[in-house]
């Protein structure tokens, strides 16, 4: 409203009109106040969506505890790794009766590969629960898979051209390895490249910037290299060996130049390595009551006491605030868990009848694999 000069005119407001405005303001303010109410009362509290999505306080847990999802609309709870409050392993239906060896996660998809089967040695799942078979690029023994730079890469220990790649886990293409047809066991991605290690061959390491073109590299020594990971926090690739004379660990900043390191026991066959909570952990298929070793830097390793006697541990992964190691044979072995890699707690085997051949962790879920077997522990993080 303006007066004759074009200026804004301010008219007198009656007390009645002010009363109306006051009432509306009060109602709006009440709603705003309710929405902005802070449920937090103590430093370290967490928020989760309560009834109808209302911000709800969750008191911080105790030292060493991890947050566990209960699924659905139930609130999360704090549990102590190794306690009875941990989630159980749940059996899932594998997409095919193959021997599944390795699993990776990327681009919203879990991908597992197998060393047996006819035209269906890959299976995928968006949730680690419902699995679908996919046509593998070749019917050879696929034993390792990883995801990096928008690409799944799998390696094989048999056949010709022992690499296949896929952008989505569904359509796979076999790749030439330039004659590097060795027993590739493990593949990882880090520092802008894919890196694989082998049990045998003249070049027991191969690298690729894109998963397509591969170059053989010289390992630090001839060993049965079984597992390799990249640790960004250390700026290192770390590999462990399950056979060979002498030092059974090697490290490299670039996967080209490798340095031998003494393991905590160079007579043991080290089969898996993982990093978490500021420490490296490796497990072995040998030994009696010391079947794990730890290192803060990949260079100096220390044996750790474990709860079993002479188990065949084949894999170790880190997730949900703890290391989980699995024995290759559920009928005679089991699992063990540790928060720090030093103190270990015995766990029942995920399966008591079928051999556990592979294990992984991604997106909130531990996955154990075997012959026609998939087991999960945890709830996918969406």
pLDDT at 9 over 60: no
d(CA 119, CA 309): 40
Residue-wise pLDDT tens digits, 371-382: 999 999 887 765
Element (H, E) at 216: strand 215-217
**Lowest-pLDDT range of 36-40, 235-239, 333-337, 361-365:** 36-40
Residue 149 token pair? 């730079």
Contact yes or no for 41/47 (Cβ under 8 A): no
pLDDT at 174 over 80: yes
d(CA 103, CA 82): 24
CA distances (Å), origin 37, targets 165, 251, 315: 51, 52, 47
pLDDT of residue 332: 47
Domains and CATH numbers, the chain: 1-37 (no CATH), 43-80 (no CATH), 90-378 (2.130.10.10)
| Sheet with strand 322-327: strands edge to edge | 313-319, 322-327, 335-338, 345-347
| CB contact burial 3-16 (16+ within 10 A = b; e otherwise) | eeeeeeeeeeeeee
In the chain, % of residues over pLDDT 70: 79
pLDDT at 1 over 80: no
pLDDT at 308 over 90: no
Q: How confident is the model at residue 327 (pLDDT cuts 50, 70, 90)?
A: confident
């Amino acid at each position: 409203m303006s007066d004759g000069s074009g200026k804004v005119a301010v008219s007198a407001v009656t007390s009645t009109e002010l009363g109306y405005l006051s009432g509306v303001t009060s109602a709006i303010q009440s709603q705003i106040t309710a929405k902005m109410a802070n449920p937090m009362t103590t430093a370290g509290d967490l928020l989760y969506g309560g009834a109808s999505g209302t911000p709800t306080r969750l008191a911080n847990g105790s030292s060493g505890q991890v947050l566990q999802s209960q699924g659905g609309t139930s609130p999360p709870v704090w549990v102590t790794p190794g306690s009875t409050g941990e989630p159980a392993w749940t059996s899932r239906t594998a997409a095919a009766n193959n021997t599944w060896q390795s699993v990776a996660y990327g681009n919203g998809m879990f991908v597992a590969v197998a060393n047996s089967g006819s035209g269906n040695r890959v299976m995928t799942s968006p949730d680690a629960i419902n699995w679908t078979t996919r046509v593998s690029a070749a019917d050879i023994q696929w034993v390792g898979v990883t995801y990096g730079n928008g690409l799944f890469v799998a390696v094989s220990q048999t056949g010709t051209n022992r690499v296949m790649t896929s952008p989505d886990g569904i359509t796979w293409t076999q790749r030439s390895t330039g004659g590097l047809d060795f027993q590739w066991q493990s593949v990882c991605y880090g520092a802008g490249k894919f890196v694989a290690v082998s049990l045998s061959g003249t070049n027991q390491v191969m690298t690729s910037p894109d998963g397509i073109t591969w170059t053989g590299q010289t390992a630090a020594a001839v060993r049965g290299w079984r597992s390799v990971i990249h640790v960004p926090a250390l700026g290192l690739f770390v590999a462990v060996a399950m056979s060979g004379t002498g030092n059974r660990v090697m490290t490299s900043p670039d996967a080209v130049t490798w340095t031998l390191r003494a393991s905590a026991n160079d007579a043991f066959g080290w089969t898996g390595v993982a990093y978490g909570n500021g420490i490296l952990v490796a497990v072995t298929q040998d030994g009696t009551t010391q079947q794990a070793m730890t290192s803060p830097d990949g260079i100096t390793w220390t044996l750790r006491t474990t709860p079993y006697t002479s188990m065949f541990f084949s894999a170790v992964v880190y997730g949900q605030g703890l290391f989980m190691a699995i024995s290759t044979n559920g009928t005679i072995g089991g699992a063990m868990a540790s928060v720090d890699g030093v103190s270990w707690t015995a766990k029942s085997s995920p399966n008591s009848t079928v051999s556990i051949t592979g294990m992984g962790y991604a997106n909130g879920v531990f996955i154990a694999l075997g012959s026609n077997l998939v087991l999960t522990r945890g709830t996918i993080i969406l």
